[in-house]
Amino acid sequence: MKWLAGIAIVLAALAALFWYAVLDGSAPAQSEGEFDLAAYRSLVANDAPETLPTSVHVEFVGKSTAPSFATEAGAFDRERTMSYNSFQIVAPGGDTIIDGAVDRATLTEMSEGKGSFDETAYNDVLAAMTRAPNVMITHEHLDHVMAIARHPEPASIAANLDLTRAQLDGLPEHAPNGQLAPEIAAASPADYTTPTRIAPGVVAHAAPGHSPGTIVIYAKTAAREYLFIGDIAWVMGSVDHLRGRPRFITWMISGVDPDRVSVLRQLRELHDMRAQNPELVLLPAHDDAYLRGLISEGVLAEGFTTPAPALETTPQ
Ligand SMILES: [Zn+2]
């Protein structure tokens, strides 16, 4: 019966590999120090109420689907819609744009031609970046940078960029022919190692893990608080169920979760932060169903606002 023992060993090894590659994504039981909500709040505590952001908007630029187990380890329910988005924090003193989404070519490549792309939404993002005094990205991956790395008028956005060194270093590979526009290449890097106030009610803080340049962005409106978490979680289920991405995805897609230990710690802290601050709105970049739920609750608005056209002066 030696062969039977041999088969048992092989099956056990395969089961262990399956668990390791597909099922395991557990966040630790405890973590602290990845985020500092108290610091974010105190940095904007003295901002005059009339200067605070008034609303948060999203442009759904592209869309594709993924099996649930590929987005959240151990989730075997249904297909997930991943949308590729850009966010706008509207404020009296000027807007903050977060993330540059995908262009059509990138969406087609990422989705192997199966995704959908909204040209009007992408053009709205390109235009909003020229007007917003603060243009940021949650991280430097391809589905967050295209409206910056491939902006048709780079000179019109260069002065608005608030990107870190790690984020700027990630842009050239996505630029046309691998050549970043000189205006963007010359942008001076920001440093968010410690929580940093960007504008009234808006704070950025480095949170490396999913990528070296990953940051979170906190925003406070009169009505509520938001935390943009980029791709720390692809779906809110990762925060709710304390499960990160499966390892096989990080082997398949280069650059995803180079510091997986930190990502899992961050998921634990986001989970706890949400439990302790039920009013805080977490905004993952891609969870289409969750983001659309926030829109129906009135917490998030679909489509960017555009400034009112200047009044025409009638010749006398
Ligand atoms: Zn992403």
- The Å distance, Cα 83 to ligand 1 centre, comes to 9
Rounded Cα distance between 71 and 75, Å, is 8
- The Å distance, Cα 286 to ligand 1 centre, comes to 7
- The Å distance, Cα 5 to ligand 1 centre, comes to 45
The alpha helices in 111-259, defined as continuous H runs, are 119-131, 146-149, 165-169, 182-185, 236-241, 247-252
Q: 35-302, superfamily in CATH?
A: Ribonuclease Z/Hydroxyacylglutathione hydrolase-like (3.60.15.10)
- The Å distance, Cα 231 to ligand 1 centre, comes to 5
Q: 26 pairs with which residues across the strands? A: 243
pLDDT of the residue at 101: 97
Rounded Cα distance between 44 and 34, Å, is 19
> What pTM was estimated for this model as a whole?
0.94
- The Å distance, Cα 38 to ligand 1 centre, comes to 27
pLDDT of the residue at 30: 96
Supply φ then ψ for residue 203, to 5 degrees: -135, 140
Nearest-Å Rg of the Cα atoms of the chain is: 21
From the DSSP assignment, how many helices (H) and strands (E) are in the chain?
A: 12, 11
Buried b / exposed e over 142-180, threshold 16 CB at 10 Å, is bbbbbbbbbbeebeebbebbbbbebbbebbeebbeeeeb
- The Å distance, Cα 141 to ligand 1 centre, comes to 6
CA-based torsion, 116, 118, 122, 125: positive or negative: negative
pLDDT of the residue at 314: 55
- The Å distance, Cα 143 to ligand 1 centre, comes to 5
- The Å distance, Cα 7 to ligand 1 centre, comes to 41
- The Å distance, Cα 144 to ligand 1 centre, comes to 6
Query: What residues does each domain of the chain span?
Result: 35-302
pLDDT of the residue at 308: 67
Supply φ then ψ for residue 269, to 5 degrees: -70, -35
Rounded Cα distance between 231 and 141, Å, is 9
Q: pLDDT 10s digit of each residue in the chain, 316 long?
A: 688 888 999 999 999 998 889 888 899 999 999 999 999 999 999 999 999 999 999 999 999 999 998 999 989 988 999 999 999 999 999 999 999 999 999 999 999 999 999 999 999 999 999 999 999 999 999 999 999 999 999 999 999 999 999 999 999 999 999 999 999 999 999 999 999 999 999 999 999 999 999 999 999 999 999 999 999 999 999 999 999 999 999 898 889 999 999 999 999 999 999 999 999 999 999 999 999 999 999 999 999 998 766 665 555 5
- The Å distance, Cα 49 to ligand 1 centre, comes to 33
- The Å distance, Cα 8 to ligand 1 centre, comes to 40
- The Å distance, Cα 210 to ligand 1 centre, comes to 10
